Amino acid sequence: MSKKMYPVVAVLLAFGLLLAACQPTVVEVDKIVVTEKEVPVEVEKIIEVEKIVKEVEYVEKIVEVEVEAAAAPSSYAPSGEVVIAVGIEPVSLAAWRAFAETGGAGFRSVVEQLAVRNYDTGGMDPLLATSWERQNDTTIRFKLREGVSFTDGSVFNAEAAAVAINHSFDPDNAFDILDFLGGSMTATAVDEYTLDVSTEEPDPLLLQKMDWVSIGSAKQLADAPDTYDTVLIGTGPYKFVEWNAGESLVYEGNPDWWGNSSPDGGGTVSFEKATYRFLSEDSVRAATVKAGEAHIGQYITPDDCKDIEANSGTHCDLKASVETMFIRPDTHSPLFSDIRVRKALLHAIDRQLIVDTILGGAATVASQIVNPTAAGYNPDLSPVAYDPGYAKFLMEQAAADGVPTDAEIILGARTAVIPQIAEVMVAIQAMVSEVGFNANVKFYDPEAFGKAVVMNWSEVPLDRNLVAVHLHGNEILDWATSYRFYMSCEGILSVYCNEEADALWNEALPLTGDARVALLQQANASVVEDFGVGHVAHMDLGYAISDDLDWNIKLDHRITLKEMKPAG
C-alpha cells in the first residue's frame, strides 16, 4: 500500500465505524477484518474529510473507546466470600468519607475517584477519568470514562461528577473533607464527558488530592437525599448490600462494573460477597483469622503477629506505612501555653521504650509528623530526647512562676485506631505523671473523638487541657497537608498557632519542586522547635491473613477488594 494512502484508509475506517454505530444492527467486532487495498479517492474529497475529522476529533476518540470496550471480554466470574475484621465501625456511609480507611471499611470498593495514587511509581493513575490537562494554576480539565454507570442505574458523566464533587465541598454542608484538603473545590461540566475541577487559589497538589475525592450518585442526592448517610452508591467493583449496626457491612460483586472488561479498572471482582466485621479488640481480630472465621484481621499487635505466623494456615504481614503516632496538647490553655510545660510533656515520654516493648519493634521513633516519603520531611530534625530529670526541672520552674501545673490533663485517644493503644496510653500516663503532671486517660468512640478533636484552638475551652494521641496518615505525601490539618492557625483540627510557620507554609503552597520543599522544611522545624506538636513513632502496621487469600499491602494500607483474590 502506498504510504500516501494510510490517512485515507484510516479516515474511511473511522467513518465506517461511526456510521455503523448509527445503524440499528449489532456489529460483531471480533469478525471485522481489515485488508490492505488502494482505493482511488478524489483529492478534493480527501481534503474535505480530513478537515471534518480534525473538527470532530474528540468524536473519533469516543468511537474508538466504545469499540474497544465492546470487544473486551468480561473478567467477571466471582465466587465465595471474603471476610475482613476491622477495628472501627463507620459513623456514616456518606460517599465523601471514603478518603479514610479507618472508619470507611470497604467504601473505596464501592465509590471511585477520577484519579488514584500509584504507590509503586509515585504518580497518579486514571480511573474514572481517562486523561487530564492543567488549564491554569487553579484548574485541571479531566476527560471522563464513558460507558460507566452507578449501581442505582444512573449514568456517570461530567454533570453527575460535578454534582457529587460540589456536594462534598459545599461550605453549607461543612463536611470534614473541605478542611482536610484545604478549602473549596468546584467542578463544572464542560460537555458530557469533560469536567473542569478548580480551586480558588493556585494549588499544585490538586491532582494528588483527587485521590481523596470519591464520586457518589447524583441521582441519590436528587431523589433520595435522606439515604445518603445509610446507603453507599458508586460506580465501583462492589455494591452495598446492608449495614448491620454494631456488627458488619456487607457488599456484593458488581457484574456491571466497567472494570470487568477493562484493565484500567486496576483489579478484578473475585468474590461474590465481602463482609467487614467490626471487632474493636486487636487480639479478637487476630483470633478470628486464626479460627478461620475471617481472611484478614486489620492492625494486629506484634505478639499476635508472632502467634499468627506460628499457626498453620495463616500468616502475618507487617509493612511500613505513612502513619505517624503523634501528640497534640491544647496549646492555648493556661497550662500548655507555657513552652516549658510543653517541653516537659515531650521530654517525659520514652519513645524508644514504647517502640521496643509495647509496639514490639514495629515502628520507628519519630522526629516529625511525616516520614521521609513526604515532601517537607526535614532530615535535620531529631526526636525529642527522653529526659525525665529535665522535664521535672521545667515543671518546677513553671510552677514557681504561677503556671497551674497541678491542673488535670486528659490523655485522650480513639479506641481501636492504634494497635495496643490502651497499653500505649497507660505508659504515657505513667511517664508524664512521674515528672509532675496530673494525668488521666480517656478513650473515645469514633464519633465522640471526632467531636473532641474537630475543633480549632480558638474554640477550645481554656481549661480543657486535652492531650490527644492520634494516628495520622499522609497519603498525599506532602507535609503541607499535615500542617493544614493539625498545626495551621485556622485548621479545623488545630489546637496550635505559630504565625512564623503559617507564613512559611502559605508562601510554600503555590510553589513546586525544591523551592516548596525548602519552605516546608523551615516551617516544619519552626513547629518542632516550638514543641507545638509531639511525635511518638512512624508506624508499621500488621495484618493477620489467611493463607487462602492472595493480597499484597500497599504503602497506603487501604484494604481494596479488587486487589485481592483466592490464593492458588
Reported as a pLDDT band with limits 50, 70 and 90, residue 184 is confident
158: how many CB neighbours lie within 10 A of its CB? 20
Q: Span 483-505, mean pLDDT?
A: 96
Q: Percent helix, strand and coil across the chain, each rounded to 5?
A: 35, 20, 40
Which one is predicted more confidently, 38 or 157?
157
> pTM surpassing 0.95?
no
pLDDT tops 90 at residue 10: no
Which one is predicted more confidently, 421 or 416?
421
Reported as a pLDDT band with limits 50, 70 and 90, residue 60 is very low
Q: Span 510-533, mean pLDDT?
A: 97
Rounded CA separation 217/212 (Å):
16
Per residue in 257-314, pLDDT tens?
A: 999 999 999 999 999 999 999 999 999 999 999 999 999 999 999 999 999 999 999 9
Give the highest mean pLDDT range of 51-55, 66-70, 336-340.
336-340
Per residue in 378-404, pLDDT tens?
A: 999 999 999 999 999 999 999 999 999
Rounded CA separation 70/273 (Å):
27
pLDDT tops 90 at residue 417: no
Rounded CA separation 265/420 (Å):
36
Q: How close are the terminal C-alpha atoms of the chain, in Å?
A: 49
Percent of the chain with pLDDT over 70: 87
pLDDT of residue 65: 34
Instruction: Find how far residue 235's CA is from the centre of its chain.
Output: 18
Instruction: Find how far residue 315's CA is from the centre of its chain.
Output: 26
pLDDT of residue 183: 75
Alpha carbon separation from 529 to 342, 346, 383, 448, 500 (Å, rounded): 11, 12, 11, 31, 12
pLDDT of residue 258: 98
The torsion angles phi and psi of 129, rounded to 5 degrees, stand at: -100, 150
Reported as a pLDDT band with limits 50, 70 and 90, residue 103 is confident
Per residue in 22-59, pLDDT tens?
A: 333 333 333 323 333 333 333 232 223 233 222 323 22
pLDDT of residue 20: 37
Contacts 24+ apart (CB under 8 A), 512-517: 512/204, 516/204, 516/375, 516/376, 516/480, 517/375, 517/376
- Residue pair 320/298 in contact (Cβ under 8 Å)? The answer is no
pLDDT of residue 21: 37
Contacts 24+ apart (CB under 8 A), 237-240: 237/109, 237/265, 237/267, 237/268, 237/269, 237/561, 237/562, 238/106, 238/109, 238/110, 238/269, 238/274, 238/561, 238/562, 239/110, 239/151, 240/93, 240/110, 240/151
Given the C-alpha cell 457484574, which residue does it identify? 255
To the nearest whole number, what is the mean pLDDT of the chain? Answer: 88
